[in-house]
Structure 1
């Protein structure tokens, strides 16, 4: 009987997984009449809005949440409304794209090795070209401000990491982190008053304890901390850094579903700020979050108190991921009042600023990108470009899906060997007569999204498909310091091993998503801190 019950639950689990992988989840209605009436897009928007609300357990209809969920649903609908792909199709496409990229990198590296005058380009740096030292500058850029140094970035990354509180602090080193937190905990604050500068921490002030353990700040150096978190409303803290003589505003990155909704609210909105061009556009969710932080700073007078305690100190605004994007917009909003402020943006979203806005931030924003990090390369344009490449690779692949997925599982466990690459020009070595993506109506090429016009046919006529939300390309902000592992990928056991090198990159070099095993790992704040620590040592010791 026990064996029968276990078998039944396993069978149910496999059936659910099979449904998720093999069946279309979009509930697509009949296309006849819907395309002409224009109601197909609204059907998908309503469907994705229900899913987002269900996932976030939000049923209220306040103005902020309603607008946010509609915008997020519009983003998802624009990506998936014209494709009949299921999860297994996407998994197979990612395997094929990884093989294709790995094969191209291998060819490029072999070519560069035979041409000794050209620097060898590692896989992580393939998108931005030749390496440059810290003093080098990409083409078409003005001289870099003196304060933009690797050591300074490493110092303020500690504040960005501290804004997350205890979850990322204990990640990967639970026992050691608990010992470090113990001396900073305030137990049973539910029975006694918490410090007046802390808002909405837990009963033992674990977030505040982690913040102090990471930064080494005392209670006298912390002016204000809030962990209040809703859509468009992000946690942050204000502290006095006597080491660098700056008041620091550190904004937390993504750590909740509310933060994820803010991230996904990726439409453009105008940023009207004194001193910036009128055509500046930015990520809508992060503009709203920056305005929330600015309002809270004005209401609490946290900055005024910090500057009153330390007259003559400068202002630094920093953050990681969502916090980085919010910090950049906040720095732009506050710059008319604090013209000498500095902003350190760690792993900022790629879909943050229009070109005019990104160029305008180069004098006061220093961005840091590590390795194959997905987020600084993530924008609506790069997502549609990836979607286009997925359709291309599925349309040209002649291998059965099960074989591609089996190869992907093998590569995840044992890596991609040279022999596999030689035999795995999978995209170009057919083993069946029809493509993996069985669609005679579509026509795809390996051209970039900017140079190709994808067409589809319903009744024998071809109509152009123009991706929504891609009219204006968005870029990472400011001057970009790019850190990458020194060892080639085949010699790395994980994303943190080996020393790190660094160079100054251009914003256009991060316009495409790189399919890599480390595309998520390189986004972790601990990895960013480790890379900057190693790069700072190299920068301080040129020999």
Structure 2
């Protein structure tokens, strides 16, 4: 927890392609922190959904358009603030962190800064790192693997829907829904007819929500002399046909960096006030074996909450020797399964 006096900048209102954020100093860890908030406002939602047309990064792969634009905003607008903080606190490193949308933006920004950290920040590349909590798939596989040395992604449970959410995953989910024999599945429970209507609405929404988000993002941008309103409208019209293409044309996206999976349920108080016997463990997972499929469960949204991750990480830290508790993440130990 940072003291208020150690918060250098705090921006609590988001805009299109720019989440809310803060910049602070952790003197105990000798770290400058850029914390980027996850989805909270309609502007954040538009950034999440604006995946129409992946954006190339460093000519090495593709990235989710909305979060790439958000990362570029930070790159162009806050690098000087970060550099000043690092110059005033010699020997400090930079940690970019975020939850959900914030995690994706943090990871992409770290990729942009890593190779030019000496030039832009005055610190070596090994002092730049990003940690994303429940980061959605936002980069192609080549980028996800390339940044594993300095980007970490944490995902809670097996079924948090956001680390699984991508255009390709939505297409697979739609195919599963269309192929499922719903009437046979519900033949013993006749009170679920409303769910069938919901599924039909979901199928329709999947094909239209990204186009709505893209159009909103275009019109939300104010006209400038370099990009007058009529040019914006022309771009909108010229890209309408592309927006109708199936999501199967999108490249598969992955959560970036090294991927850790928080398994189990965080310890809670039972009805007698005693701690429950449950707890969480941390696993290193293979990105190809997990999170490629959306699984509909009762906990797929609650597993995404910040509080859920907080209590799960608290349990993991309690199980570690004190000497390891200050590290960014615990090392892979004997009770941690590689490539689960």
Contact 2:55/2:64, CA 8 A, preserved across alignment: no
TM-score by length of 2: 0.70
- Higher Cα Rg, which structure: 1
1:295 alignment partner in structure 2 = 76
1:309 alignment partner in structure 2 = 88
Instruction: Classify 1:503/1:337 alpha carbon distance in 2 versus 1 (closer, same or farther; 3 Å).
Output: same
| Aligned counterpart for 1:265 among listed residues 45, 50, 56 | 50
1:513 alignment partner in structure 2 = 294
Cα deviation 1:73-126 (Å, max 9, x = unaligned): xxxxxxxxxxxxxxxxxxxxxxxxxxxxxxxxxxxxxxxxxxxxxxxxxxxxxx
| Aligned counterpart for 1:365 among listed residues 151, 156, 163 | 151
Pair 1:484-2:263 in alignment = yes
| Aligned counterpart for 1:247 among listed residues 27, 32, 46 | 32
Q: Report how far residue 400 of structure 1 moved.
A: 5.6
Aligned positions, number:
259
Q: Report how far residue 272 of structure 1 moved.
A: 3.1
TM-score by length of 1: 0.45
| Aligned counterpart for 2:139 among listed residues 323, 330, 353 | 353
Please state whether the residue corresponding to 1:317 is helix, strand or coil: strand
Contact 2:56/2:63, CA 8 A, preserved across alignment: yes
Instruction: Classify 1:398/1:354 alpha carbon distance in 2 versus 1 (closer, same or farther; 3 Å).
Output: closer
Contact 2:167/2:250, CA 8 A, preserved across alignment: no
Structure 2 stretches lacking a partner, 5+ long: 118-124, 201-244, 323-332, 336-340
Please state whether the residue corresponding to 1:539 is helix, strand or coil: coil
Contact 1:486/1:501, CA 8 A, preserved across alignment: no
Q: Report how far residue 392 of structure 1 moved.
A: 1.2
1:403 alignment partner in structure 2 = 190
| Aligned counterpart for 2:20 among listed residues 235, 255, 260 | 235
Contact 2:11/2:20, CA 8 A, preserved across alignment: yes
Instruction: Classify 1:399/1:316 alpha carbon distance in 2 versus 1 (closer, same or farther; 3 Å).
Output: closer
1:318 alignment partner in structure 2 = 97
1:391 alignment partner in structure 2 = 178
Instruction: Classify 1:389/1:367 alpha carbon distance in 2 versus 1 (closer, same or farther; 3 Å).
Output: same
Between the aligned partners of 2:28 and 2:40, the Cα distance in structure 1 is 29
Cα deviation 1:323-373 (Å, max 9, x = unaligned): 0000011001111232121110110002x1101111111111111000121
Structure 1 stretches lacking a partner, 5+ long: 1-214, 409-435, 438-465
| Aligned counterpart for 1:503 among listed residues 276, 279, 283 | 283
Moved >2 Å (runs of 4+): 267-273, 394-402, 466-471, 539-543
1:174 alignment partner in structure 2 = none
Between the aligned partners of 2:2 and 2:247, the Cα distance in structure 1 is 47
Q: Give the number of the structure whose residues are more often strand, by fraction.
A: 2
Superposition pairs of residues 195-214 of structure 1, within 5 angstroms: none
Contact 1:223/1:305, CA 8 A, preserved across alignment: no
1:445 alignment partner in structure 2 = none
2:317 alignment partner in structure 1 = 536
Superposition pairs of residues 37-186 of structure 1, within 5 angstroms: none
Contact 1:236/1:251, CA 8 A, preserved across alignment: yes
